Amino acid sequence: MFVHGAIKPPKPYKVPTIEEKGAPRYCRYHQFVGHPIIACQTLRKILHAKIHDGTLELPFKRQAIDEDPMLK
């Protein structure tokens, strides 16, 4: 998603160092060490909003249960 520019990260307070980028708690969205990107609430909200209004195409196929909760 970052590669294609679909989501623009905010400007970082400072340029992250290589060590910071390699840290397990480095957030690629906020570009600082504080939380891993999977725990980033801001990015999660943006993704949910984009999925909701259909402006984000998911790179993976939706699971059948999402399409039809009443499995046959």
Give the residue with the Cβ less far from Zn ion, 13 or 61: 13
Residue 1: CA count within 13 A, CB half-sphere: 19
Interface residue with Zn ion among 40, 46, 47, 56 (CB under 5 A) is: 40
C-alpha–C-alpha distance, residues 31 and 21, integer Å: 8
Is there binding between residue 23 and Zn ion (CB under 5 A)? Answer: no
Residue matched to tokens 């390699």: 22
Cα angle 60-65-71, degrees, rounded to a multiple of 5: 145
Give the residue with the Cβ less far from Zn ion, 44 or 64: 44
Give the shortest CB-52-to-Zn ion separation in angstroms: 20
Which residues are at the interface with Zn ion (CB under 5 A)?
Answer: 27, 29-30, 40
